[in-house]
Amino acid sequence: MRYDVAVFGGGPAGAATALSLKRLRPSLRVAILEASSYSAWRAGETLPPGCQGILQSLGCWERFLGERFLQSFGSRAAWGGEQPYDNEFLFSTHGDGWHLDRVRFDRMLSECAQEDGADVLQDARLAGSQWAEDRIWRLVIRRGGRHEELEAGFVVDATGRSASFAVQQGARRLIGDHLAGASVVFRFTRNNMPADTYTLVEAQEDGWWYSSMTPDSHAVAIWMSDADLVRGRGLHAAERWMEHLRRSRLTAARVALADPETAPGIWAAQSQRLSQSVGPGWLAAGDAASTFDPLSSQGILKALRSGKLASFVAIDCLQGLTAAQARYERILAAEYEQYHAAKTWFYGLEQRWPASPFWRRRQRVGRQP
Ligand SMILES: Cc1cc2nc3c(=O)[nH]c(=O)nc-3n(C[C@H](O)[C@H](O)[C@H](O)COP(=O)(O)OP(=O)(O)OC[C@H]3O[C@@H](n4cnc5c(N)ncnc54)[C@H](O)[C@@H]3O)c2cc1C
């Protein structure tokens, strides 16, 4: 099979790339090659204000509303002091935010891309790639235990933080910290679900708690700290995780009436960027190109925007206008620099635990990776 563009990864960045390509050039043959079958739970559920515009431009806003995700009216942070403060979206010109079921959200986006004419191949992983002299990618994918071959004029790596394709092409992942998350999903009964859907962030010695209500009477609480500190506390074990939760003030109170539904899941959450996000016949988009700290709640929105931008560059490159890749690289570098400055400033606001390794590591004035 021959495609104009093969997109590895069917998360928000990959789906946005395919959707935008099909909107801009309906005749392009586009494939999404997705490793999963959209069944296992995924982390990252708060979609901040500002999502409506991009989802409308990708043609999936009505479908999004039909999923009946949970509207979010603000966020609350106990950060830099005991007293929490609120950021109400009421005052945002971008409207409200949303709490998602990420599996349903990612599946919905890929179904929209399929309806717009992209092929979506699930359970498909890259097994080999070669950029041939005729400027065509010869790709080998492993799917359902079998190897299949396909060709593509351009490849978009949207495989998330593993950046599998880019790394295969020689790009290096430049790691800025070692943040990791330990998450547990809770279930409320219909009668005891709190009315307050704010995203809550609560700083503590050695890390911070993130919690959010999610659709269908669920909530998720995630302890964010450095990977060595998460390991050191044994937080992959349910009883240690629950014991640690009880040391928090606001987060524990929030899920006190709910039952834990899962064992702790451990997630890599480090900030990173690639040494190069483009190369002959390819580019990286979304988390594959750079990841932001979950504290920012910007990852999904950034991935959608990045996918859209990637589609413009892919179309230029298919027409031989490869200068677009250098412009793309510059945009990503400026975006990461801005993000790094904001992250350093925000972590700098928390000064209560000067001896804690977690906060000390973040308050060293660091160069970005
Ligand atoms: C603990 C945690 C909490 C977070 N909370 C939030 C939040 O509240 N709000 C927010 O906006 N962001 C949050 N994020 C970040 C957000 O989840 C990501 O930024 C976002 O998912 C990036 O989208 P993406 O499409 O680039 O990558 P991903 O969502 O990672 O999608 C990558 C896709 O590629 C597939 N894939 C992987 N490898 C291959 C391969 N070799 N071949 C084919 N397919 C492959 C995967 O199955 C997946 O579908 C959080 C992240 C973490 C770790």
Residue range 46-78, pLDDT digits in tens: 998 889 999 999 999 999 999 999 988 888 999
Contact between 324 and 314 (Cβ < 8 Å): no
User: What is the 217 CA–ligand 1 centroid distance (Å)?
Assistant: 23
User: Is this prediction's pTM over 0.75?
Assistant: yes
Q: What are phi and psi of 131, to 5 degrees?
A: -90, 105
CA-CA distance, 180 to 178, in Å (whole number)?
Answer: 6
Work out whether the CA dihedral 344, 347, 352, 353 comes out positive or negative. negative
CA-closest residue to ligand 1 atom 18: 299
Look at 110-119, 225-234, 356-365 and tell me which has the smallest mean pLDDT. Answer: 356-365
CA-closest residue to ligand 1 atom 5: 44
Cβ-based burial of 260 (10 A; exposed 0-12, middle 13-18, buried ≥19): middle
> Which residue among 121, 179, 287, 304 has the greatest number of ligand 1 atoms within 8 angstroms of its CB, and so is best to mutate?
287
72 lines ligand 1 (CB under 6 A): no
User: What is the 348 CA–ligand 1 centroid distance (Å)?
Assistant: 27
Q: What are phi and psi of 147, to 5 degrees?
A: -100, 135
Q: Which fold has domain 179-268?
A: D-Amino Acid Oxidase; Chain A, domain 2 (3.30.9)
Q: What is the mean pLDDT of the chain?
A: 94
Q: In the chain, where does the domain assigned CATH 3.50.50.60 lie?
A: 2-69+101-176+270-337
The set of residues, in sequence order, having a beta carbon less than 8 Å from that of 49 and lying 6+ positions away, is: 89, 92, 94, 95, 96, 97
Q: In the chain, where does the domain assigned CATH 3.30.9.100 lie?
A: 179-268
Atom of ligand 1 nearest to the CA of 162: 38
Amino acid in the structure at residue 85: Y
CATH number of 2-69+101-176+270-337: 3.50.50.60
Average pLDDT over residues 162-171: 97
Q: What is the pLDDT of residue 368?
A: 67
14 lines ligand 1 (CB under 6 A): yes
- pLDDT band of 366, cuts 50, 70, 90: low
Residue 253: pLDDT above 60? yes
